[in-house]
C-alpha cells in the first residue's frame, strides 16, 4: 500500500526522521521500513519515513494531528508550532469518502497558505493566504462559503461546487510544492523510518 490517498501527511524539507518524530512527540517508537510503517499508520499512529530527495514525510490516517475535524484554527496553531521548529513545512489531508481535502504551507515559521474543503458539511473551514500558482491553474482553493448567496440558482451552486477540490487536486498541489508521496519510487527510502504515537494516544495493544 502506498502513502497518499485517504490519509494526512507532513512534508518537511531538510529534517531527519528522528527530528520530525521528536517534534510530533511520538512515543512507543518502533523502527519500520517504508511498506510496513505506511501500512501501520493507515491503522493507528504515525509513520515518519526516512528522507527522500531532501524531504521527510510523516503520515497518519487517524493520529497525525488532533485538529483535523474541520477546525481550522486548531490545525493552524499546530502547524505554526511545528513551523517554529522547522521553519518550512507542508501539510496535506485527503479523504474521498467524506470529501475532506486540505493543504497548508509554512514558510519561515509562518503559515502563509491554508485551505480546506469539508464535503460532509459543504463548508470551507480553513482559508488563509492567496492561492498559489498551481491552485489557480487547477481552479481550486479560491472560493469559500462567505461568497455564496441563498438566492443562487442551481447552476450557480453547481459552479461553486465545481471549484471545490478532490484528492487528485491535493496530489497535484503536493507535487508542485515539492514532493507527492505517490511519486516516491518503490524502494526509494533506504533506511528505516519510525512509527509511533502522539501524546495522549494509547499505544499499548
Q: What is the pLDDT of residues 44-59, one digit of tens each?
A: 999 999 999 999 999 9
Q: What is the DSSP string of 134-183?
A: HHHHHT-S---GGG--TT--HHHHHHHHHTS--HHHHHHHHHHHT--GGG
Say what the pLDDT of residue 62 is.
87
Query: What pLDDT band is residue 2 in, cutting at 50, 70 and 90?
Result: confident
Gap between the Cα atoms of 60 and 115, Å rounded: 19
Q: Is the pTM of this model over 0.85?
A: yes
Gap between the Cα atoms of 31 and 93, Å rounded: 24
Query: What pLDDT band is residue 11 in, cutting at 50, 70 and 90?
Result: very high
Cβ neighbours of residue 81 under 8 Å, at least 6 residues apart? none
Say what the pLDDT of residue 68 is.
54
Question: What percent of the chain lies above the pLDDT cut of 90?
Answer: 61
Say what the pLDDT of residue 43 is.
93
* pLDDT tens digit sequence for 71-120: 567 889 999 999 999 999 999 999 888 889 999 999 999 999 999 998 88
pLDDT at 32 over 80: yes
Which carries the bigger pLDDT value, residue 150 or residue 197?
197
Say what the pLDDT of residue 153 is.
82
Single out the residue of 204, 194, 205 nearest to residue 26, CA to CA: 194
Lowest mean pLDDT among 17-21, 71-75, 145-149: 145-149
Question: Any idea where the domains of the chain sit in the sequence?
Answer: 7-197
Gap between the Cα atoms of 182 and 4, Å rounded: 6
3-state helix, strand and coil shares in percent for the chain, rounded to the nearest 5: 30, 30, 40
* pLDDT tens digit sequence for 155-203: 877 787 788 899 999 999 999 999 999 988 766 666 899 999 998 777 7
Mean pLDDT, the chain, rounded, equals 88
Amino acid at each position: 500500500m502506498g502513502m497518499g490517498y485517504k490519509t494526512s501527511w507532513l512534508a518537511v524539507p531538510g529534517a531527519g526522521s528522528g527530528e520530525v518524530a521528536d517534534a510530533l512527540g511520538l512515543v512507543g517508537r518502533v523502527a519500520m521500513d517504508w511498506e510496513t510503517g505506511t501500512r501501520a499508520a493507515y491503522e493507528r499512529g504515525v509513520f515518519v519515513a526516512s528522507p527522500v530527495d531532501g524531504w521527510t514525510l510523516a503520515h497518519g490516517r487517524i493520529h497525525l494531528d488532533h485538529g483535523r475535524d474541520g477546525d481550522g484554527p486548531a490545525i493552524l496553531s499546530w502547524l505554526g508550532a511545528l513551523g517554529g521548529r522547522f521553519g518550512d513545512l507542508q501539510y496535506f489531508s485527503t479523504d474521498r469518502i467524506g470529501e475532506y481535502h486540505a493543504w497548508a504551507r509554512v514558510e519561515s515559521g509562518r503559515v502563509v497558505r491554508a485551505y480546506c474543503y469539508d464535503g460532509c458539511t459543504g463548508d470551507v473551514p480553513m482559508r488563509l493566504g492567496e492561492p498559489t500558482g498551481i491552485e489557480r491553474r487547477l481552479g481550486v482553493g479560491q472560493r469559500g462559503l462567505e461568497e455564496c448567496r441563498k438566492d443562487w440558482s442551481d447552476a450557480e451552486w453547481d459552479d461553486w461546487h465545481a471549484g471545490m477540490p478532490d484528492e487528485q487536486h491535493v496530489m497535484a498541489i503536493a507535487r508542485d510544492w515539492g514532493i507527492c508521496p505517490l511519486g516516491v519510487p518503490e524502494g526509494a527510502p533506504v533506511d528505516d523510518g519510525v512509527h509511533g504515537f502522539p501524546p495522549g494516544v494509547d499505544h499499548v495493544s
